[in-house]
Chains A and B, each alone.
Chain A
Amino acid sequence: MRYFITPALLIALKDLYSEWRTRQVVVTMLIFSALVIVTFSFAFDPTRQAVEALIPGMIWVITVFAGILGLNRSFLSEQKQDQLHGMIVAPADPASIYLGKVIANYVFVFVVQAISIPLLLILFDFQVPGDYGWFLLILFLGTFGFICVGTLLSAVSIQSKSSEMLLPVLLFPLVTPIVIAAVEATRIVLAQDASISEAFSWMQLIVVYDLVFFVAGFLLFEYVLEV
């Protein structure tokens, strides 16, 4: 634990502090998600009926695309001066580097979601019916699964010279279950006649996915990190 939780938190805090200093990644992600919202409203005429069908998909398109921007940077910032090598020789479990990065990446995406999703709802004049709790839970579970796989694959793709191109190609096919399940669950929760029980099976699927890939990331990260 001593060589696991502490380094993980240190790395996460280091990333958050660095981001606080520069505000490069999150600001870019925010601008990007605002552009996605605007582009969507041009591409699909946001009339009353269409909105309800559109919102769940848009929420996850914003999360996934803005998330990829952040994931691309996540390990690139550790490569300039081989800082990642510094972490490998440090007395820290390789999985703690993974955990730290997952936490930091999750927080970045969370900040983007916290600003862009309310903005989306306001611009499309959409009222969330009923309980916010389930919606937020689905948002958390889906994003977590996406970040788990994304962080692992980001560490894979930075070892290529064309990492920005490689990451989406690696990541999208693997996150299809998350995209399908999260969009469906969000659709059910945000429907006017929402019946939560229908979303449960989707949420179970997301939880299984989260667990499988969090554990996989944990176990496989040391192999990705080797020099």
Chain B
Amino acid sequence: MDNKNSIFRFLIPSKGYNILFYLAIPIVIMALYLTFIWSPVERTMGEVQKIFYFHVGSAWNAFFAFFVVLVFSILYLVKRKRIYDIIAGVSAEIGVVFTAIVLATGPIWAHSAWNTWWTWEPRLTTTLILFFIYIAYIMIRNMEGEWQKKARLASVFGIIGFINVPIVFMAVRWWETNLHPVVLGDGNEQSGGGLEPSMLFTLLFTVATMTLVYFLFLRKGIYIEQLRLETSKLKAKWQEKEINREAS
């Protein structure tokens, strides 16, 4: 009976998730409306400029997700609670997805803005290295062995991976300005200062929406992990029971 209860407990998504989910639907539709219909078309770049809202939103969320990895890695090493490890792992996966979006939209933007697919622009290059760092992080998590070991090693890597980010950014920026001094200015579109007010509003709105989506994914990811855990526990229990039955 106890088992059954626990299954049902995990099959029903929590209230927090439901609230997030139903909140997200209108907001995402609103964000799409703002981006594609309400906000004006940029003069020189045309429709392609709209990718910028998602590019910036994904970039911000990727950094945020990796910051969450850092926080929960430290928490895991101090408290050794499994939930912290799960949160760090799920957040890293979401972060990698957002990083991939940044890396995919970046070249599209670059192609229409500067007529080249890839520039070794510091933000883009840092994002690329970030992508590799967290792929490596996920590889540690996929190591063989018991979860405690993987969680411990992944936490250590999650910490040094994140403190590396500002150093990478500095190095790449100096390197880029030394090698290609005037490929592009300090992207005035990206500073926010040169933006049309309606564009700025749309940008802020999409960034907020994508943050909400991040939390939705995080909640869902944790839920899936817990479900997976519960399943493997049940399986182990069942196996033990079978073995005992056969032995007797």
Query: Which A residues form the contact surface with B (CB < 8 A)?
Result: 149, 152-153, 156, 159-161, 166, 169-170, 172-174, 176-177, 180-181, 184, 201-202, 205, 208-209, 212-213, 216, 220, 223-224, 226
Binary contact readout B170-212 vs A (1 if CB under 8 angstroms, 0 otherwise): 1110110010000000000000000000000000000000000
Inter-chain CA distance A217–B161, complex, in Å, is 12
- Indicate if B10 sits at the interface (CB-CB under 8 A): no
Indicate the member of A176, A181, A213 with the most B CB atoms within 10 Å. A176
Identify B178's interface contact among A166, A184, A213, CB under 8 A.
A184
Inter-chain CA distance A36–B195, complex, in Å, is 50
Inter-chain CA distance A155–B152, complex, in Å, is 12
* Given A173-B129, A201-B174, A223-B156, A159 contacting B149 (CB threshold 8 A): yes
- When C-beta atoms are compared, the residue in chain A nearest to B156 turns out to be A220
Residues of B within 8 A of A223 (CB): 77, 152, 155-156
Main secondary structure on B side of the interface with A: helix
How far, in Å, is A101 (CB) from chain B's closest CB? 15
How far, in Å, is A200 (CB) from chain B's closest CB? 12
* Given A172-B132, A220-B159, A223-B156, A159 contacting B143 (CB threshold 8 A): yes
* Contact sample, A vs B, 7 pairs, CB 8 Å cutoff: A156-B140, A160-B144, A161-B144, A166-B140, A173-B133, A177-B167, A220-B160
Q: Is the CB of A180 within 8 A of B171?
A: yes
Q: Is the CB of A180 within 8 A of B175?
A: yes
How far, in Å, is A210 (CB) from chain B's closest CB? 11
- When C-beta atoms are compared, the residue in chain B nearest to A177 turns out to be B171
Residues of B within 8 A of A174 (CB): 133, 160-161, 164
- Indicate if B234 sits at the interface (CB-CB under 8 A): no
Interface residues of B in 101-158 (CB under 8 A from A): 129, 132-133, 135-136, 139-140, 143-145, 149, 152-153, 155-157
- Indicate if B75 sits at the interface (CB-CB under 8 A): no
Inter-chain CA distance A146–B133, complex, in Å, is 16
4 closest A-B pairs by CB: A173-B132, A177-B171, A180-B171, A173-B133
- When C-beta atoms are compared, the residue in chain B nearest to A178 turns out to be B171
Q: Is the CB of B167 within 8 A of A170?
A: no
Inter-chain CA distance A153–B164, complex, in Å, is 14
- Indicate if B163 sits at the interface (CB-CB under 8 A): yes
- Indicate if B168 sits at the interface (CB-CB under 8 A): yes
Inter-chain CA distance A166–B138, complex, in Å, is 11
Inter-chain CA distance A202–B172, complex, in Å, is 11
Residues of A within 8 A of B161 (CB): 174
How far, in Å, is A131 (CB) from chain B's closest CB? 21
* Given A169-B139, A176-B168, A177-B168, A205 contacting B174 (CB threshold 8 A): yes
Identify A184's interface contact among B135, B159, B175, CB under 8 A.
B175
How far, in Å, is A126 (CB) from chain B's closest CB? 22
Inter-chain CA distance A211–B171, complex, in Å, is 16
How far, in Å, is A162 (CB) from chain B's closest CB? 9
Residues of B within 8 A of A156 (CB): 140, 153, 156-157
- When C-beta atoms are compared, the residue in chain B nearest to A171 turns out to be B136
Residues of B within 8 A of A173 (CB): 129, 132-133, 136, 164
Q: Is the CB of A202 within 8 A of B144?
A: no
Residues of A within 8 A of B157 (CB): 153, 156, 170
Indicate the member of A159, A166, A173, A212 with the most B CB atoms within 10 Å. A173
Q: Is the CB of A177 within 8 A of B164?
A: yes
Given contacts A180-B171, A181-B171, A205-B170, 16 further A-B contacts (CB under 8 A): A149-B160, A152-B156, A156-B153, A160-B143, A169-B136, A170-B139, A170-B157, A172-B132, A173-B132, A173-B133, A173-B164, A180-B172, A180-B175, A201-B174, A202-B174, A213-B160
Binary contact readout B4-26 vs A (1 if CB under 8 angstroms, 0 otherwise): 00000000000000000000000
How far, in Å, is B147 (CB) from chain A's closest CB? 13
Identify A177's interface contact among B149, B160, B170, CB under 8 A.
B170
How far, in Å, is B11 (CB) from chain A's closest CB? 34
Indicate the member of B77, B136, B143, B149 with the most A CB atoms within 10 Å. B136
Q: Is the CB of A224 within 8 A of B153?
A: yes
Residues of A within 8 A of B129 (CB): 173, 176
Inter-chain CA distance A71–B175, complex, in Å, is 28
How far, in Å, is A205 (CB) from chain B's closest CB? 6
Inter-chain CA distance A209–B161, complex, in Å, is 13
- When C-beta atoms are compared, the residue in chain A nearest to B176 turns out to be A180
